[in-house]
Protein backbone atom coordinates (compact mmCIF):
# COMPACT_ATOMS: atom_id res chain seq x y z
CA UNK A 1 0.00 0.00 0.00
CA UNK A 2 1.50 3.40 -0.95
CA UNK A 3 2.12 5.98 1.74
CA UNK A 4 3.16 9.60 1.58
CA UNK A 5 6.94 9.62 1.76
CA UNK A 6 7.21 5.93 0.84
CA UNK A 7 8.83 4.97 4.15
CA UNK A 8 6.07 3.40 6.24
CA UNK A 9 8.46 1.84 8.72
CA UNK A 10 7.99 2.21 12.47
CA UNK A 11 10.85 4.18 13.95
CA UNK A 12 12.06 6.04 16.99
CA UNK A 13 14.08 9.24 16.96
CA UNK A 14 16.07 9.91 20.14
CA UNK A 15 18.04 12.97 21.18
CA UNK A 16 18.94 14.38 24.59
CA UNK A 17 15.76 16.45 24.86
CA UNK A 18 13.57 14.89 22.18
CA UNK A 19 11.83 11.55 21.71
CA UNK A 20 9.62 10.75 18.71
CA UNK A 21 7.76 7.61 17.78
CA UNK A 22 6.21 7.40 14.35
CA UNK A 23 5.88 5.57 11.09
CA UNK A 24 8.13 7.75 8.96
CA UNK A 25 11.80 8.04 9.83
CA UNK A 26 12.34 10.80 7.28
CA UNK A 27 9.50 12.92 8.74
CA UNK A 28 10.76 12.37 12.30
CA UNK A 29 14.23 13.42 11.17
CA UNK A 30 12.80 16.54 9.53
CA UNK A 31 10.83 17.45 12.65
CA UNK A 32 13.89 16.89 14.84
CA UNK A 33 16.02 19.17 12.62
CA UNK A 34 13.39 21.92 12.60
CA UNK A 35 13.13 21.79 16.40
CA UNK A 36 16.85 22.44 16.85
CA UNK A 37 16.61 25.81 15.09
CA UNK A 38 15.40 28.67 17.28
CA UNK A 39 12.04 30.11 16.28
CA UNK A 40 11.63 33.60 14.89
CA UNK A 41 9.62 34.59 17.96
CA UNK A 42 6.75 35.78 15.79
CA UNK A 43 4.47 32.87 16.67
CA UNK A 44 4.20 31.05 19.98
CA UNK A 45 2.09 28.27 21.42
CA UNK A 46 0.81 25.20 19.64
CA UNK A 47 0.20 25.45 15.90
CA UNK A 48 -1.41 22.68 13.84
CA UNK A 49 -1.84 22.88 10.06
CA UNK A 50 -3.55 20.06 8.15
CA UNK A 51 -3.80 19.95 4.36
CA UNK A 52 -6.74 17.73 3.37
CA UNK A 53 -5.82 17.48 -0.33
CA UNK A 54 -3.19 14.70 -0.06
CA UNK A 55 -5.31 12.87 2.54
CA UNK A 56 -8.34 13.01 0.25
CA UNK A 57 -6.25 11.82 -2.73
CA UNK A 58 -4.94 8.92 -0.64
CA UNK A 59 -8.46 7.84 0.40
CA UNK A 60 -9.65 8.10 -3.21
CA UNK A 61 -6.80 5.86 -4.30
CA UNK A 62 -7.62 3.30 -1.60
CA UNK A 63 -11.32 3.37 -2.53
CA UNK A 64 -10.53 2.83 -6.21
CA UNK A 65 -8.15 -0.04 -5.45
CA UNK A 66 -10.54 -1.75 -3.04
CA UNK A 67 -13.90 -0.87 -4.58
CA UNK A 68 -14.82 -4.44 -5.50
CA UNK A 69 -14.09 -5.76 -2.01
CA UNK A 70 -16.06 -2.91 -0.42
CA UNK A 71 -19.03 -3.58 -2.70
CA UNK A 72 -19.02 -7.31 -1.84
CA UNK A 73 -18.80 -6.45 1.87
CA UNK A 74 -21.68 -3.98 1.67
CA UNK A 75 -23.99 -6.56 0.04
CA UNK A 76 -24.31 -8.19 3.46
CA UNK A 77 -25.18 -4.87 5.15
CA UNK A 78 -28.77 -3.91 6.10
CA UNK A 79 -30.82 -2.03 3.50
CA UNK A 80 -30.59 1.21 5.52
CA UNK A 81 -26.80 1.07 5.39
CA UNK A 82 -26.80 0.33 1.67
CA UNK A 83 -29.02 3.38 1.09
CA UNK A 84 -26.51 5.57 2.95
CA UNK A 85 -23.59 4.15 0.98
CA UNK A 86 -25.38 4.25 -2.37
CA UNK A 87 -23.72 5.82 -5.40
CA UNK A 88 -25.78 9.04 -5.19
CA UNK A 89 -24.92 9.64 -1.51
CA UNK A 90 -21.25 8.81 -2.05
CA UNK A 91 -21.11 11.32 -4.90
CA UNK A 92 -22.71 14.02 -2.71
CA UNK A 93 -20.26 13.29 0.09
CA UNK A 94 -17.31 13.38 -2.32
CA UNK A 95 -18.47 16.72 -3.74
CA UNK A 96 -18.72 18.20 -0.25
CA UNK A 97 -15.38 16.74 0.88
CA UNK A 98 -13.63 18.08 -2.23
CA UNK A 99 -14.39 21.60 -0.99
CA UNK A 100 -12.55 21.03 2.32
CA UNK A 101 -8.99 22.19 1.74
CA UNK A 102 -7.53 22.13 5.24
CA UNK A 103 -7.61 23.48 8.76
CA UNK A 104 -5.48 25.57 11.07
CA UNK A 105 -5.47 25.47 14.87
CA UNK A 106 -3.44 27.84 17.04
CA UNK A 107 -3.43 27.95 20.84
CA UNK A 108 -1.34 30.43 22.78
CA UNK A 109 -1.27 32.62 25.91
CA UNK A 110 -1.50 36.42 25.76
CA UNK A 111 -1.41 38.57 28.89
CA UNK A 112 -1.85 35.42 31.01
CA UNK A 113 -5.06 34.41 29.20
CA UNK A 114 -5.40 31.41 26.91
CA UNK A 115 -6.36 32.17 23.32
CA UNK A 116 -7.45 29.82 20.57
CA UNK A 117 -7.89 30.25 16.84
CA UNK A 118 -9.48 27.60 14.60
CA UNK A 119 -9.90 28.03 10.83
CA UNK A 120 -11.33 25.64 8.25
CA UNK A 121 -10.33 26.35 4.64
CA UNK A 122 -13.18 25.66 2.21
CA UNK A 123 -13.10 26.31 -1.52
CA UNK A 124 -16.08 28.10 -3.10
CA UNK A 125 -19.00 26.00 -4.36
CA UNK A 126 -19.13 25.47 -8.10
Tens of pLDDT, residue by residue over 28-71, are: 777 777 777 776 666 778 889 999 888 888 877 877 777 767 66
Q: 68 and 104 share a domain?
A: yes
Most confident of 4-13, 36-45, 72-81, 88-97: 88-97
Q: At residue 115, does pLDDT exceed 60?
A: yes
Q: Give the pLDDT confidence of 3-19 residue by residue, as tens digits.
A: 555 555 666 656 667 77
Examine the domain organization and report whether 5 and 57 are in the same domain.
no
Q: Are residues 74 and 15 in the same domain?
A: no
**Please, what is the average pLDDT of the chain?**
77
Number of structural domains found in the chain:
2
- Bridge partner residues of 29 (DSSP): none
- C-alpha to C-alpha distance for 9 and 35, rounded to whole angstroms: 22
pLDDT reading at 82 higher than 60: yes
Residue 107 belongs to domain spanning: 42-126
- Chain Cα centroid distance, residue 31: 17
**Do 28 and 60 lie in a common domain?**
no
Co-location of 25 and 53 in the same domain: no
Same domain? For 16 and 52 the reply is: no
Q: What is the pLDDT of residue 116?
A: 94
Cα distances from 103 to residues 23, 49, 53, 119, 124, in angstroms, run: 23, 6, 11, 6, 15
- The answer to whether residues 63 and 106 belong to one domain is yes
Same domain, 24 and 68: no
Distant-in-sequence, close-in-space partners of 61: CB < 8 Å, separation ≥ 6: 2
Whether 53 and 108 map to the same domain: the answer is yes
Amino acid sequence: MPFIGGDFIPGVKLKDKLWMLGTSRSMAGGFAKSMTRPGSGAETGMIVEIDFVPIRDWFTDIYQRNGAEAKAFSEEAPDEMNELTGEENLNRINDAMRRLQGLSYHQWITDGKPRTSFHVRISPAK
